[in-house]
Structures are given as C-alpha cells and as structure tokens.
A and B are shown apart, each in its own frame.
Chain A
Amino acid sequence: MSEMTLVEAINLALARAMEDDPDVIVLGEDVGINGGVFRATAGLQTRFGSERVLDTPLAELLISGLCVGMAAQGLKPIGEIQFMGFLYPCIDQLVNHASRIRNRSQGRLTCPMVLRTPHGAGIRAPEHHSESTEAMLAHIPGLRVVIPSSPERAYGLLLAAIRDPDPVVFLEPTRIYRAAKGEVEDNGEALPLDVAFVLREGRDVTLISWGAMLKETMAAADALAVEGITAEVVDLATLKPYDEVTVLGSVAKTGRCVIVHEATRTGGFGAEIAALIAERSLTSLLAPVARITGYDTVIPMARLEQHMMPSVGRIVTAARKACQFS
C-alpha cells in the first residue's frame, strides 16, 4: 500500500494489466517515450517495448479504429485520446463499430477495447481541452462509460475496464489527476463495473455525482453537516450502464436528490437520473430533484471556466433548499 495520485494509479493499473496479459496493448499519441501528456503511460514503453506501447500517427479516428481491429483479433487494446475535445473523430468508430460489432456479428466478433481520455475542465488548459461530454457517450448502446473519482477507484475500475469483454470509454478526471491522492495497493484486484459507490452515508439528501465533481460534492456534504444536514454522497462511477438500484435506494431513504455534474445541463446525464427518479420513485420524493450543472454554454477558456462549473456553494444551496421544501 502506498500513497499516490490518481494519474499514478492509472499508470499502475496499466502496468499491472500489461504484466498480467500479453494481449494488452497501449496506443496513442505520445504514449511511448514521452509517457503521455499527463504521464499516465510513463515508463511503460521502456518496460514493455515499443510493439506493445506504440506511438500512433496523429490521428484520433485511427486510434479508435485500430482498437476495433486489434480487439476483433483478440488483443486488448487501450487507446489514449489526449484530451476529450479530440475524441469526436472517434465517435463514428464508437457508434458504428466498437459498440455493435458483437451484436451485428451475433457474437462472432467482439471488441474488448478501452479508450481512455482526460475529462473535464479546471486546469486552465487551452481551448477544446476541457470537455465533459460524457452524456453523448452514455447514449451509445453496447458501450460502457466509466469515470473514477479517486486513485483507488481509478486503479480498480481501469483494471475492470481492461478485463471487460466489451468496449469501455474510460474518462479520467483531469482536474484531480494530481490533486487526488490516496492509498492504492497494487494487488491486481478490479473493482466492479456498473456499480455506484456510496462515499458517505446520510439521511437527509442524496448528492449524486461522478469524476472530479465529487470533490466539490464531498465538500458540500461537509458544509451541510455543519448545518445538521446529513448528505448521502453517491459516486455513480459507471455511467453506462448505471446503477439504478443504488440511486433509487438512496433516494427512497432520503427523499431528496441533488445531481451534480460539470457538463452542460440540457441533455446532460443528470437528466437521465432525474427522469429515472421521477418514473420510479416519485412518491418517495419530499422535494423536487435538483440539478447543479455546468451552464448551457460553450465551456469558456481559462479566465471564466470556474464560473461555468458547479461550486460548493451552489451544491450546498440546492441541498439546503431541498431540505427546506414543503
């Protein structure tokens, strides 16, 4: 057990997976000697060779398409897209091929691939480097969409994603790549996919979030505790398919729900969760479901990005309002 950052935990999981399984291949731009722009693949090429850790040409569509071809051949490719803003050329491959080759070939060909990409804003990066368009991906049948919120879950969930027999988009919360530190044991044990994690138990209000936003959400829970409001915090972790049971169970207990995500509101994944609660748990609600999200605008560049993203204050206010609703 040692303390490490989230990005170090990613690196550890990649190394572990490559060590355990010769079919695991890492590919992407600058993932080789440079170790990736965030250092997530640091040291891997030296250790596993340039055939298994390969620098691709600068072509994102290619990276995702190569993964499909390699995976159909039984390899376990892990593609890296440098920033989520550069993922969009891969959408064709994800929608038309990765997510459905198993179904359209009736199980003859499969696609055990992982596509990793940094997710979210808050690091004062240039334009197009701060996207959080996970809802687009979660809309694709046949895909898994996973996002960790701590080093421990980054390690365990990435191992699970790599071992999963179906394609997984693995979103990595850029803002807490280094800010999040925690104890990780390199024991090769995966955490379950499709399962939400209850990070904190509470009775009065359920706060649901994922990725880097859990940081503000947990801070909001601390602040609410001071006011005597106990918040249950749920880390959704897998967005597709997501853990309806944990969501509904928590809301049944608290009767109040605030969903927090930094992605824009309209059509965001919070809308899906709110709809689920409305359909299945309306009578347990003591207050309207609230969404604290990014605004419906283009993610601004560095000078304004903080104003776009949900703050601890906005979350606390929404939770307090839910608790005062009558």
Chain B
Amino acid sequence: MASKKMADGGLPVVARFEVRHRNYLAPDGSINRPLPAFASDANLLVSLYRAMVLLRSFDRKAVALQRTGRLGTYAVSLGQEAVSVGIASAMRSEDVLLPSYRDNGALLWRGVNPEEILLFWGGDERGNHFSGPVEDFPFCVPVGSQAPHAAGVGYAFKLRKEPRVAVCLFGDGATSKGDVYEAMNFAGVHKLPVVFVATNNQWAISVPLRLQTGCETLAQKAIAAGFIGEQVDGSDVVAVRAAAEEAVAAARDGQGPRFIEALAYRLGDHTTSDDASRYRQEAEVQARWREEPIARLRAFLVGQKMWSKAEEERLAAECHERVEAAVERYLATEPRRPETMFDHLYAELPEVYAAQRRELAGEGDV
C-alpha cells in the first residue's frame, strides 16, 4: 500500500484504514463464525428466506410476462436476493428507502404490492404510487442519481431531529459516478443518518468490475468520504442483515453514515433486453451458482431443523398463488386515459398545458 511505502521511506504515516469483510454462512450453509443475536430468532430467518423465495418466484413470472409481450423491460435479482431483502429487513417503516431499479426485494419487504411493481415495469406510473411507506422513493433508473436525494433526506431528518434513516441502494457501476461520491462526501461532512449500499454483482451490464475501478474493494470508497465502509458477503443474508442492522442503528444514533458493499453475483442477464452470453463465460456463471443465497440459507435452516421439505412445498405453492394473483390484478388494470399524462405534472396544471390536455382528451382543438 502507498502509505506503507511512504512510511518505509521515513515519512510519517498520517492515516491508516482498514476494510472488514463480514460472512457467517458458508455456501453450503455451514457456519463460519458465531452468528449475530438476531439469528437465534427462527421466525426472522424464515421470513428472510420466504422473502427471497417470493422475489425469485416473482422474477421468474415477470420474465415470462415480458417474453410473452405482457410486460416491458424487467431487471431480475437472480443471485442477489439476499441484498435487497437483508437490507430492507433492518429498516423501520418510518425510514426512507431510495432504491435502484433492481431492488424489488426491498420494495416487497416494505409492503409494496407485487402488482404495483408489475404496473411500473408494464409502463404505468401508477406503480410508483405504491402501498409501501409513503415517503419511500420510487425506483431510480438513472444510475446513482438517487444518492444525492438520500443525502437531502438525511439532512432533513437531522435538521428536524427525527430518529430516522435514509437507505440508498445502488450497484457497483454507480460507485463510478460523481453523484454517489458527492452524496457520500456531504453525508460524511454532516454525519447524516444515511446508509449507502452498493450491491456489487460484478457486472454493470457488460462491464466487469475490473474495468469499473482500480480499488481492491468498493467499501473503501467510504473512507474517502470520512466514514466506515464494510464489505459483506452479499450471498449470505445473515451477513447482509447484520451489517445493515449495525449501520442503520449507528446512523439512527447520530453516529453518521455507513457504506456497505454487498459482494454478490448477477446470475441473470442485466435485464430482459440483455444477453449476458455475449460478454461472459457460462462457466463463470455456473461456478457462481454454488454461492447463491437461497440454497445457502435453506441448507442452514434445514440443518438447524428450522425448515422442512413440507414447508418448502407449501411456500412454493404460496408464492405461486400470490404471484399469479398479482399478475391477474396487474393484467386487469385498465390503462390510464391518455390525458392523465398531464396529471401531477404541476400541483396545478398551467392553463397553457391544460389546453393540450383537452386536445388529448378530445375536447376540442388547442
């Protein structure tokens, strides 16, 4: 490391930094280190498991809908279900989530209905007027551009002395953007209650991590912003949840922001519009399947007698039923009338645009 070389040259070291890696469950479900306290709560672990399975089941159906022309472009969470679910599980409902477009697991956990997510990806803004916490942000499509919002939300919490936390999710690609650094830097200056989470799934569409950064970790990017960055095994939902719990509690307690890099792997294509076989080897993907989060937690739960084959079958049926019901409601939702595209453009539509709205509604010429 550069600082060490300078020290060897007789110059004083003015700062040293470390990045920790957190993992509890090995890929086979065995325990690598003593589990955090919450892991003694079988109900909680099972609910995390159920949420991940629901997400995967939902994703599978969403892709099927897209392939049959009943849904627009869709981004699956395959392989990284533990991140959005684990993070969201550590939040309170009064906290504010600022998700990227791949964080369905967090939205579902926070009470967004599956049909609302389908509505969004089916091209209807009403999907963003969802049943989750009313102050949560909608999916952010321009990569990383929601990070400054998280800092603004965190500033509002601090100003009003509210014990709430803003949690901002994005991917590895976003950490290359100034938006994310600017937001982290500001959050560091004011010790804001913000938790930044990078799901490092190794691929930003076709660009691998090694072309995204020269850093050993993404977590170390927090160091430049003046706060702790931790790397967690993002395929180990216990590790994600533990890191999130700690970070959210510290932020709520006024200790300032935290950054979590969740190391995962995007087992699927970037979106339904992508074909990852163009740029990565199948062998690489297959190797990563051995680490995936759902089988890992299932192996642990089964080993601990917290989960059975019968429960697994019941869960599969439940997820199927829930997703099918959501699809039914989604497909039954009539499109909005065209002129409603002007609704909520301004608090009150200026008369000049009201005329265009009338034209669209077939109520006379502009």
The residues of A with any CB-CB pair to B shorter than 8 Å are 25, 51-52, 56-57, 59, 61-62, 64-75, 77, 89, 92-93, 96-97, 101-110, 141-142, 164-166, 194, 241-242, 244
Contacts and interface: CB of A to CB of B under 8 A. Distances in A.
Q: How large is the interface on B (under 10, 10 to 19, 20 to 34, 35 or more residues)?
A: 35 or more
Nearest to A142: B345
B293 to A, nearest CB: 30
Contacts of B350: 194, 241
B129 A62 contact: no
Interface stretch (B68-76, B134-142, B229-237, B270-278): B134-142
A64 B166 CA distance: 18
Interface of B is mostly: helix
Interface in B133-189: 134-135, 137-138, 141-142, 145-157, 159, 166, 178-179, 182-183, 185-186, 189
Interface in B326-349: 343-347
A166 to B, nearest CB: 5
B212 interface: no
Given A57-B189, A59-B185, A69 B125 contact: no
Contact of B346 (A25, A104, A142): A142
B352 A242 contact: yes
A107 B295 CA distance: 40
Given A57-B182, A73-B135, A108 B148 contact: no
A102 B128 contact: no
A102 B145 contact: no
Contact of A62 (B125, B128, B182, B347): B182
Contacts of B148: 61-62, 64-66, 68-69, 93
B38 interface: no
B145 A66 contact: no
Nearest to A25: B159
A70 B199 CA distance: 25
Nearest to B164: A73
Most buried by A among B126, B138, B178, B186: B186
B344 A107 contact: yes
Contacts of A77: 152
Nearest to B150: A69
Centre residue among A74, A97, A105 by max chain B CB count within 10 A? A105
A274 to B, nearest CB: 16
Contacts of A51: 159
B251 to A, nearest CB: 15
A110 B347 contact: yes
Contact of B134 (A102, A108, A165, A194): A108
Contact of B186 (A59, A64, A75): A59
B129 A69 contact: no
Contacts of A64: 148
Given A69-B153, A70-B156, A108 B352 contact: no
A148 B235 CA distance: 56
Given A62-B183, A73-B135, A97-B145, A166 B152 contact: no
13 contacts: A62-B183, A62-B185, A65-B145, A65-B148, A65-B151, A69-B152, A69-B156, A69-B166, A72-B152, A92-B142, A97-B146, A106-B343, A166-B347
